[in-house]
């Protein structure tokens, strides 16, 4: 397996891996947000995992902001992380997350945010964002799913509400909605330690 930056020639393969990983069709929400992020120039970095000429995984970093008391702070949101179903559980997702964090650090970003399975990402460098004083962009994001990895350029004053770029709102891919949100809240109340399956990728 090799990791590299994505190119425009990879677009179709990335879309295919994303659809299969998230089990959605061509007009699914993750496919739509990918297209809009690219169209609105919101992509900060896009990385792929390849085997021979086949793309088997993809991760993307997208521009967003922290609305701190002093000023807006440029940060990135990791979304989506996709691994081909037949290659999940073989370390590709882990390698892509590590590469994304290294790329964000190289670019000088102070923090990487995401919404995702707290157990999965908690083992890969992320912490609950609320522990550091960050506020969710929507109350429909479970607190434990709102996570951050702080990088060397982060400073203690860089806290506040995360502000997503427009593509996430326009495609309605922020947080969860009922009935899934209601189900997740009920499960969390009944079993606070239960960890949901991370969609799109496995270790």
Residue 71, domain CATH: 3.40.630.30
Q: Which residues contact 91 (CB under 8 A, 6 or more apart)?
A: 203
- Residue 197 binned pLDDT confidence (cut-offs 50, 70, 90): very low
Q: Looking at the domain assignment, is residue 66 inside a domain?
A: yes
- Residue 199 binned pLDDT confidence (cut-offs 50, 70, 90): low
Element of type H or E holding 156: none
Q: Looking at the domain assignment, is residue 197 inside a domain?
A: no
pLDDT(91) > 70: yes
| Parent domain of 169 | 2-190
Q: Looking at the domain assignment, is residue 202 inside a domain?
A: no
Question: What integer is the mean pLDDT of 22-36?
Answer: 92
Q: Looking at the domain assignment, is residue 200 inside a domain?
A: no
188 vs 183, higher pLDDT: 183
pLDDT of residue 189: 81
Q: Looking at the domain assignment, is residue 155 inside a domain?
A: yes
Q: Looking at the domain assignment, is residue 19 inside a domain?
A: yes
The residue among 47, 4, 21, 39 whose CA lies nearest residue 170 is 39
- Residue 102 binned pLDDT confidence (cut-offs 50, 70, 90): very high
For 113-165, the pLDDT digits (tens) are 999 998 899 999 999 999 999 999 999 999 999 999 999 999 999 999 999 99
Q: How far is Cα 86 from Cα 84, in angstroms, rounded to an integer?
A: 6
Q: Looking at the domain assignment, is residue 196 inside a domain?
A: no
pTM of the model: 0.91
Domain count of the chain? Answer: 1
pLDDT of residue 12: 96
User: DSSP label at 148?
Assistant: E
pLDDT(79) > 70: yes
Q: Looking at the domain assignment, is residue 203 inside a domain?
A: no
* Helix (H/G/I), strand (E/B), else coil: 118: helix
76 vs 194, higher pLDDT: 76
* Helix (H/G/I), strand (E/B), else coil: 19: helix
């Amino acid at each position: 397996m090799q990791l590299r930056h994505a190119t425009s020639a990879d677009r179709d393969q990335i879309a295919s891996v994303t659809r299969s990983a998230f089990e959605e069709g061509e007009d699914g929400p993750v496919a739509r947000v990918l297209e809009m992020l690219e169209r609105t120039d919101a992509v900060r970095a896009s990385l792929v995992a390849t085997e021979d000429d086949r793309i088997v995984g993809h991760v993307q970093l997208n521009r967003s902001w922290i609305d701190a008391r002093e000023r807006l702070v440029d940060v990135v949101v990791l979304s989506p992380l996709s691994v081909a179903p037949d290659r999940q559980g073989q370390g590709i997702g882990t390698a892509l997350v590590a590469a994304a964090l290294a790329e964000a650090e190289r670019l000088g970003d102070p923090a990487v945010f995401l919404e995702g399975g707290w157990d999965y990402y908690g083992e890969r460098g992320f912490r609950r964002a609320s522990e550091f004083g960050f506020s969710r962009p929507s109350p429909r994001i479970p607190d434990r799913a709102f996570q951050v990895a702080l990088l060397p350029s982060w400073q203690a004053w860089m806290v506040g509400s995360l502000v997503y770029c427009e593509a996430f709102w326009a495609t309605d891919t922020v947080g969860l909605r009922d009935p899934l949100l209601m189900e997740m809240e009920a499960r969390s109340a009944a079993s606070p330690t239960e960890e949901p399956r991370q969609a799109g990728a496995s270790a």
